[in-house]
Amino acid sequence: MRQNLFIQSVAIMTVALMLLLAGVVRLCALNLGRLIDTLGRNVQMTVYLSDGVSPQRAKQIADALRRLPGVQQVHSVDEREAYDRLRRALGDHGDLLDGVEEGLLPRSIEVTFRSGVSDVLRVHPLYTRLRATEGVEDVELMSDWVRRLLQAQQLVRTVGWTLGLLLGLSCIYLVGATIRLGIHARRDEIEVLKLVGATNLYIEAPFLLEGLVQGLLGAALATLGLLGLYRLGLPWAQGTLRDLLGDVPLGFLPAGEVVAAIAGAGLLGLVGSGLAVSRHVRL
pLDDT at 244: 58
| CATH code at position 96 | 3.30.70.3040
Asked if residue 60 and residue 26 are part of one domain, the reply reads: no
Question: Last residue of some domain: 113, 141, 169?
Answer: 141
pLDDT at 226: 94
Asked if residue 245 and residue 116 are part of one domain, the reply reads: no
Asked if residue 243 and residue 116 are part of one domain, the reply reads: no
pLDDT at 263: 93
Which residue range(s) make up the domain with 105?
A: 44-141
pLDDT at 195: 85
Sequence-distant (≥ 6) Cβ neighbours of residue 237 within 8 angstroms: 31, 250
Number of domains in the chain: 2
Is the pTM higher than 0.85? The answer reads no
Asked if residue 198 and residue 128 are part of one domain, the reply reads: no
pLDDT at 222: 94
Cα separation of 208 and 274, whole Å? 6
| Angular region, 197: left φ>0, alpha ψ -120 to 50, beta rest | left
Asked if residue 151 and residue 118 are part of one domain, the reply reads: no
pLDDT at 168: 85
Q: Taking each helix axis as running N to C, give the angle between helix 200-245 and helix 187-195, from 0 to 180 degrees, rounded to the nearest 10.
A: 140
Cα separation of 127 and 39, whole Å? 22
Asked if residue 23 and residue 154 are part of one domain, the reply reads: yes
Asked if residue 25 and residue 150 are part of one domain, the reply reads: yes
Asked if residue 93 and residue 19 are part of one domain, the reply reads: no
pLDDT at 42: 54
Q: Consecutive 10-residue runs of the chain (283 residues): their mean pLDDT?
A: 82 90 88 70 73 83 81 81 72 63 75 64 67 82 64 80 86 85 80 84 86 92 94 81 65 90 91 82 57
Asked if residue 265 and residue 225 are part of one domain, the reply reads: yes
pLDDT at 94: 61
Asked if residue 216 and residue 94 are part of one domain, the reply reads: no
Question: Last residue of some domain: 85, 110, 141?
Answer: 141
Asked if residue 218 and residue 114 are part of one domain, the reply reads: no
Asked if residue 269 and residue 251 are part of one domain, the reply reads: yes
pLDDT at 227: 94
